[in-house]
Amino acid sequence: MQTDIRTACCALLLLLGALPAAAAEADSLRRTPAVEIGKGIAYRSPGGNFSLTMRLRMQNRIGLSFDRDFDFRELEARVKRLQVKLTGYVWSPKLVYNIQLGFAGHAANARSNSNIVGDAILYYRPSPAWSIGLGQAKIQANRAQITSSGLLQFVDRSIVNGEFNADRDFGLFVQYDLPRDEGFTFTAKSSVTLGEGRNWGRSTNGGLVYTRRLELYPLGRFKDKGESSEGDLAHEEEVRILLACAFSYNHKAVRTQGQRGDLLPDGASRNFGNWYADFLLKYRGFSFCTDFMGRTCRRPLFDDEARTWIYTGWGFNAQAGYVIRKKWEVALRNSMLFPGGKVQPRAGYERRSQTSLGVSRYLVGHAVKMQADLSYNHRARAVETDYTRWAIVFQLEVGL
């Protein structure tokens, strides 16, 4: 009996001696950043008043373009995107920051100067429903532009989005999400921004951009924020639908596309509006989306000597895809641009279209994937017929 008691006491003493070491080891594990492909490198301070998630993205691309007779025109080989994204909160989970830096030429070009800052914004989230941000971020206008370039089912966004998207700007951003996952719900987004695009700095003409967007989810929200990604990798078990519309009014814009494009001649400015309408459906690996967007401006042209002009008119894009066992996806897209009557002579065509066939191989979702697109371009009643008709692009994306 005494031997048993002595053995138990020794075991208790050993256990008590091991507790501090175990606690130290547990604390060390809590301090060690967690790493997961597709979700980044995550760290949270022991006190819980700071968190950081760092994500890295790389897009390497090779492309070939051909004329109408399939004669070689151009070879493209470059790093399309190289980005670092930092997200988390400071002091309180209600203060959320979002920083994105782009180091490749495509992402770093702003006002013809190299500038790596893409996003730099701090949000205050007093409740799960409300979000108020101040800084530089994407204007929440159309679905195609809101969707990250790393979450596409094609190598690039459509030519329609390329002409009419609102891009990034500095200002105040407000969002309200009706806190409901099942059944009808909606999201309302609003912003007031400077108007001249990212990294501009200051404006002397007093013009601002006012943007409003309303998103309706009649059958409930998508899995894994599927409204912000293309392709149904989440494999929705129930039909999910997004209906959305937006309008962005740019007062005294000094660039041809508002937040992007060339400066207007002789210090001129113009008022114009961009409008958007989106539809998205996902169900059991199948996805379909369509986008309508356009631009209106009363005086889109300048004198004949000025090459600068504002593209008015509208465009339409439709695309569909099917994901096979969450590994392969085949997608088809058709995009069309219709310049307004006043600017058709400057555009050089009555209608421009692009039809693309895309094949994607997902290794780790959208984080690590290989994509290949075959596209055919056509311009109705084109002034110049010497333009790229066929394009083949292969892209490798790796994200952490």
Q: Residues 135-152: pLDDT tens digits? A: 999 999 999 999 999 999
Instruction: Return all residues near 186 (Cβ < 8 A) that are at least 6 apart.
Output: 178, 214, 215, 216, 217
Instruction: Return all residues near 11 (Cβ < 8 A) that are at least 6 apart.
Output: none
Range with the lowest mean pLDDT among 16-30, 156-170, 328-342? 16-30
Residue 15 has pLDDT above 60, yes or no: no
Mean pLDDT value across the chain: 88
Identify whether the C-beta of residue 168 lies closer than 8 Å to the C-beta of residue 259.
yes
Identify whether the C-beta of residue 326 lies closer than 8 Å to the C-beta of residue 235.
yes
Gap between the Cα atoms of 358 and 152, Å rounded: 11
Gap between the Cα atoms of 244 and 367, Å rounded: 27
Identify whether the C-beta of residue 394 lies closer than 8 Å to the C-beta of residue 372.
yes
Gap between the Cα atoms of 176 and 262, Å rounded: 34
Gap between the Cα atoms of 140 and 123, Å rounded: 15
Instruction: Return all residues near 180 (Cβ < 8 A) that are at least 6 apart.
Output: 220
Residue 125 has pLDDT above 60, yes or no: yes
Gap between the Cα atoms of 25 and 63, Å rounded: 51
Residue 354 has pLDDT above 80, yes or no: yes
Identify whether the C-beta of residue 259 lies closer than 8 Å to the C-beta of residue 167.
yes
Q: What is the mean pLDDT of residues 236-246?
A: 96
Q: What is the mean pLDDT of residues 245-254?
A: 95
Pairing of strands 351-364, 368-380: antiparallel
Burial of 224 (0-12, 13-18, 19+ CB in 10 A): exposed
* Residue 20 banded pLDDT, cuts 50, 70, 90: very low
Residue 18 has pLDDT above 50, yes or no: no
**Straight-line distance from the first to the last Cα atom of the chain, in angstroms, rounded to the nearest whole number:** 60
Instruction: Return all residues near 131 (Cβ < 8 A) that are at least 6 apart.
Output: 123, 124, 125, 173, 174, 175, 176, 177
- Tens digit of pLDDT for each residue in 188-226? 999 999 988 888 877 777 789 999 999 999 999 999 999
pLDDT at 113: 45
Pairing of strands 109-110, 185-193: unpaired
Instruction: Return all residues near 301 (Cβ < 8 A) that are at least 6 apart.
Output: 309, 310, 342, 343, 346
Gap between the Cα atoms of 311 and 185, Å rounded: 35
Smallest Cα–Cα separation from 213: which of 143, 273, 132?
143
- Provide the CB-side half-sphere exposure for 4 (13 A, CA): 1
